[in-house]
Amino acid sequence: MSLAEPATLPVATSAAPRLDVPKRLVARFKASLPAYLLLLPSLVFLALFTYGAMGRVLIDALYQRATPKAPVRFVGLDNIAAVLADPAFTGAVVNNLIYAVGTAIPSIGLALLFALTLSRTHAVSSALRAALFLPVLIPMVAASALFMFIFLPNVGLLDYYIGRLLPVLPNWLGDPDIALYAIMIITIWKNAGYYMLFFLAGLQAVPEDVMEAAHLDGAGPYQRLRNIILPELKPTFLFVIVIAILNAVTQVDHVFVMTQGGPSNSTNLVLFYIYQQAVEHYDVGKASAATLLTLAALMGLTALSFRTMANREGGP
């Protein structure tokens, strides 16, 4: 071998990969093309109806609507300031917080109870799971119409079976002190079966050998629930809590059907307030500002939940 050969070989081997890079990129793109084509419809709808809508809301929040005497004009953050100063909005936020806590805790508690009771698969448990999940399949509007008959004063099923035990028959949907709690019942009834599915999936991940070892060591059902099952279900709890809070903000169909936010705004939730501003008062700027505030709160909550899950899994 001559002395010139070692000097020429590295040049040839280092140039070859640079020439193959475009070909490798083209080959990789061709291999991934079917996946991109499958994602394309979802990406188009996501861009149009999610991010596009969010961009439009951001723009509308910065402008004051046109009036017969004035055109559309830029007002900056005035709409957001007007929303924050509106007692109806703050009242809706308070109602939504009560509604979120009052529906999330009972729904999650019932869902965990259902899942623990029906975790073993057999004919009866499968039938009961289907029965408990059935309310999820009923549209909220239809369920609201059903519960309106249940809540009817004097002749409704609730008055017939429970109200007669009380000294005075309550007007479930007409009394400002109890109307919000009455519409919570329908949300708990619908969501408990839905959340049960997540807890059933979480229970599948509990190690059987650990449960058997605890049983052999003499641990009772309560000790196994407290020391093994509930710690293993922490990620499921966190996910279900976030879903429950998001549902509390986005579910408003029953308010439309049953109370229209009344009586005396006692059942007015944030989403119904946005509807009132946009449709009834035709104030798109104020409705968009309220939407932005709601989105910011929900995105902050979601980011906090993801951060908490990442810390639990040892992520960055």
* DSSP H helical ranges for 52-86: 52-61, 78-84
Structure tokens at 253: 């169909």
The per-residue pLDDT for 4 is 45
Return the ∠ at Cα 95 (arms to 156 and 191), rounded to 5°. Answer: 60
**108, 195 in Cβ contact below 8 A?**
yes
- Could you tell me if 203 and 119 are in contact, meaning their C-beta atoms sit under 8 angstroms apart? yes
* Mean pLDDT across 165-185: 87
Distance CA 148, CA 120 (A): 36
pLDDT at 316: 46
Judge whether 159 and 152 are in contact, CB under 8 Å: yes
The enclosing H or E element of 74 equals strand 73-74
Band of the pLDDT at 38, cuts 50, 70, 90? very high
Residue 9 vs residue 30, higher pLDDT = 30
Task: Report the candidate in 305, 182, 300, 169 with the shortest Cα–Cα distance to residue 234.
Answer: 305
